[in-house]
């Protein structure tokens, strides 16, 4: 067997959840193009699709949405954990800590046993709903607790995206802001077997509790090579400073072989379809408000300048290039961008966890050993 760094191109599982064609810029959830879902679906409906395999009927969606709304509150013990965390700690570390603790306050992990019986469908479905419901609440709670304020309680009369923005900003968002956040959650909900999803599969294969499965994925997403690039895009655009400096900045950046954040993707060889949707939402928001941050004009100029230099190499804007701009326009602090990614991707992680349970086998890859041959132990007195 050949050693392949990063397991690139090595099938790690069989899945019916999502499909990606990087040559043609196609991403589907259960066969439905992401372009259609982002424009016509909601996060609740898309999450149901990912978890259950089909789009819900009216009654099914109402029941699922109702369960999500009823499970938004978290135990006061979880809030107490937050109050003891350093206020300057990264929100992803908070999120992983609190999600890892959920199993202690919401019993049921004892059903993940190795006796062959496996958890019941009711346990799997109800647990998935509880975790998915809690994610947005935890992220929004931390935004206020780290400032020394009481968190804003969730509201059951608001949809998932609208309630999250309400809890973050202490005001009801306007309909366009809600639709933008909803679309962002749909776009980030699933993306085949990426690093964090693979971490979830490995953890899940041991029959660990589902909250620990999600916590392991959060820890993986927190790495700078996976989540967080949209925050670096904004810092990069600020460093450029103005539209008239874009060409010179790009020339210097490429000449010194530095990263142009938000460009390129291991899978896509054309523009990420999600980036097109996000850019369209920015245009809608600008028309609605009359203006946006000057960083958006710098971003558009950078994309245009990069087209001649990078497009022939198959390097185009990815989902991170425009998502941070949108989040900032919605009043989201930059260090909360990756936690929002985690809120959304939890739907995909849990869908893969649920799928794997149906035919589980613990992951146990091999290695290519490069160490010394077998040798004898040398006593300390003979080592010099």
pLDDT digits (tens, 9 = 90+) for 178-230: 999 999 999 999 999 999 999 999 999 999 999 999 999 999 999 888 888 89
Global pTM value: 0.94
For residue 50, pLDDT over 90 is answered with yes
Whether 19 and 150 map to the same domain: the answer is yes
Whether 211 and 88 map to the same domain: the answer is yes
Whether 179 and 52 map to the same domain: the answer is yes
Q: What pLDDT is recorded for position 108?
A: 65
- Here the CATH number for the domain that contains residue 268 is 1.10.230.10
pLDDT digits (tens, 9 = 90+) for 58-75: 999 999 999 999 999 999
**Is 380 inside any structural domain?**
no
Segment 255-274 shows an average pLDDT of 92
- When divided into structural domains, the chain yields a total of 2
**Is 108 inside any structural domain?**
yes
**Is 366 inside any structural domain?**
no
**Is 47 inside any structural domain?**
yes
Whether 32 and 93 map to the same domain: the answer is yes
- Compute the mean pLDDT over every residue in the chain, rounded to the nearest whole number: 94
Q: Which of 103-107, 315-319, 362-366 has the lowest mean pLDDT?
A: 103-107
Whether 149 and 249 map to the same domain: the answer is no
Q: In three state form, how does the secondary structure of the chain look?
A: CCCCHHHCCCCCCCCCCEEEECCCCEEEECCEEHHHHHHHCCHHHHHHHHHHCCCCCHHHHHHHHHHHHHCCCCCHHHHHHHHCCCCCCCHHHHHHHHHHHHHHHCCCHHHCCCCCCCCCHHHHHHHHHHHHHHHHHHHHHHHHHCCCCCCCCCCCCCCHHHHHHHHHHCCCCCHHHHHHHHHHHHHCCCCCCCHHHHHHHHHHHCCCCHHHHHHHHHHHHCCCCCCCHHHHHHHHHHHHCCHHHHHHHHHHHHHCCCCCCCECCCCCCCCCHHHHHHHHHHHHHHHHHCCCCHHHHHHHHHHHHHHHHHHHHCCCECHHHHHHHHHHHCCCCHHHHHHHHHHHHHHHHHHHHHHHHCCCCCCCCCCCCCCCCCCCCCCHHHCC
Q: What pLDDT is recorded for position 109?
A: 61
- Here the CATH number for the domain that contains residue 204 is 1.10.580.10
pLDDT digits (tens, 9 = 90+) for 107-165: 666 567 666 556 788 889 999 999 999 999 999 999 999 999 999 999 999 999 999 99
Provide the residue range defining the domain that includes 277.
Answer: 229-329
**Is 110 inside any structural domain?**
yes
Whether 191 and 259 map to the same domain: the answer is no
Whether 292 and 186 map to the same domain: the answer is no
Whether 237 and 95 map to the same domain: the answer is no
Enzyme catalytic residues:
265, 320
């Amino acid at each position: 067997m050949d050693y392949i760094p990063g397991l690139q191109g090595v099938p790690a599982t069989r899945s019916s959840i999502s499909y990606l064609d990087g040559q043609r810029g196609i991403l589907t959830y259960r066969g439905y193009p992401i372009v259609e879902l982002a424009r016509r679906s909601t996060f609740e409906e898309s999450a149901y699709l990912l978890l259950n395999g089909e789009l819900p009927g009216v009654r099914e969606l109402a029941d699922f949405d109702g369960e999500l709304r009823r499970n938004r509150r978290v135990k006061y013990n979880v809030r107490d954990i937050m109050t003891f965390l350093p206020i300057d700690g990264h929100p992803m570390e908070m999120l992983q800590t609190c999600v890892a603790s959920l199993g202690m306050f919401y019993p049921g992990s004892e059903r993940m046993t190795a006796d062959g019986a496996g958890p019941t469908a009711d346990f799997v479905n109800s647990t998935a709903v509880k975790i998915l419901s809690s994610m947005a609440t935890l992220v929004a709670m931390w935004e206020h607790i780290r400032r020394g304020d009481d968190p804003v309680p969730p509201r059951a009369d608001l949809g998932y995206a609208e309630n999250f923005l309400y809890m973050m900003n202490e005001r009801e968002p306007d309909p366009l802001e809600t639709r933008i956040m909803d679309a962002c959650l749909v776009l980030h909900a699933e993306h085949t077997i990426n690093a964090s999803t693979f971490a979830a599969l490995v953890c899940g294969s041991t029959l660990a509790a589902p909250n620990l499965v999600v916590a392991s994925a959060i820890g993986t997403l927190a790495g700078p090579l996976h989540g967080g690039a949209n925050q670096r895009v904004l810092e990069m655009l600020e460093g450029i400073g103005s539209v008239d400096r874009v060409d010179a900045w790009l020339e210097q950046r490429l000449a010194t072989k530095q990263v142009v954040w938000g460009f390129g993707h291991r899978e896509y060889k054309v523009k990420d379809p999600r980036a097109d949707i996000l850019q369209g939402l920015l245009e809608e928001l600008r028309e609605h408000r009359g203006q946006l941050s000057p960083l958006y004009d710098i971003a558009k100029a950078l994309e245009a300048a990069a087209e001649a230099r990078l497009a022939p190499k198959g390097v185009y804007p990815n989902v991170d290039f425009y998502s941070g701009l949108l989040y900032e326009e919605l009043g989201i602090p930059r260090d909360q961008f990756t936690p929002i990614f985690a809120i959304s991707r939890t739907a995909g992680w849990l869908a893969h966890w649920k799928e794997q349970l149906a035919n589980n086998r613990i992951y146990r890859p091999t290695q290519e050993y490069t160490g010394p041959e077998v040798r004898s132990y040398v006593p300390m007195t003979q080592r010099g």
